[in-house]
Amino acid sequence: MIHLTDELMSKHSTFKIGGVAKNVYIPESLEEFKGLYSNEFIVIGNGSNILFGDGIIETPIIITTKMNKFYIDGEKIIAECGALIINIALSAAKNGLSGLEFAGSIPATIGGCVYMNAGAHGGQMSNIVESTEVLKENIGLRGASATRTYIINNAQHEFGYRTSIFQHTKEIILATNLKLKQDNPNKIIFRMNEHLENRKKNQPIGQPSDGSIFKKLDGISAGQLIEECGLKGYTIGGAQVSQRHAGFIVNIGNASAQNVLNLIEFIKNKVYEEKGIKLEEEIRYIQ
């Protein structure tokens, strides 16, 4: 178990933004995690799709990235919650398993991907998740959760567009079972490379960001709406609407969380004024 005190959360965020957390715990196994966890904690993965506040974060944080084992069993992959989805996708491709091509460039853990029902390029987690091992919600007694686990099937995840049941409970994803399909490894890798090239061409690779800030609405791209409102490149402090893809906000240098929040609010107001559409954030705010 790794225990960090007064830790800068900008070091654990793809946005490179965040204040100081009083206590951060990094369990190195599922058993360590189950022995530690209670509802007193905030649990995160690789820090994508998360905006940390600028101030002191008093609530203790657990980071899952050391719980990263996964293995292949036929057409299935069983992965601990902290395994990076990029690593799982690459391993699947090399072993001739198709279904994860969409995830080959998502900088998140599989736990985070299930939590968000992450997707890209026409694919999403709900298409491939067979079951998940879950740690039950408890009343805050550390250690009491160690044996309180159960398995849910795909339907019980209540997947929706960028959502799942886990966004409405304090239950925790421990491990997930994916069901994939056999295919030619070269074809799978070709499709993954196509997606990666498309991402490089159309998204702000190399700049700190949180991915897409807003959800699609009835199939309409938020980035398209934002661009039509003339907001590409609009900047508040160190936060900027990406000049490459208006659905992204990028940190162009020492952006604060407040800069990002102010920019989000400005974008939402502008799109509502001009389009009559209310945008909804995709990111999770932790303060």
Catalytic residues, by residue number, are 162, 212, 282
The size of the chain, in residues, is: 287
List 133's β-bridge partners, or say none.
151, 175
DSSP H or E stretch at residue 190: helix 185-202
Q: Which of the 8 DSSP states describes residue 246?
A: T
Q: Which of the 8 DSSP states describes residue 48?
A: T
User: What is the rounded distance in angstroms from the CA atom of residue 152 to the CA atom of residue 35?
Assistant: 21
User: What is the rounded distance in angstroms from the CA atom of residue 124 to the CA atom of residue 116?
Assistant: 10
| CA dihedral over 105, 171, 81, 8, signed as positive or negative | positive
CA dihedral 89, 92, 94, 97 (to 10 degrees): -130
| CA dihedral over 235, 251, 111, 22, signed as positive or negative | negative
CB of 106 closer than 8 Å to CB of 113? yes
> Could you tell me which residues come within 8 angstroms of residue 228 by beta carbon, excluding any fewer than 6 positions away?
274, 275
CB of 99 closer than 8 Å to CB of 86? no
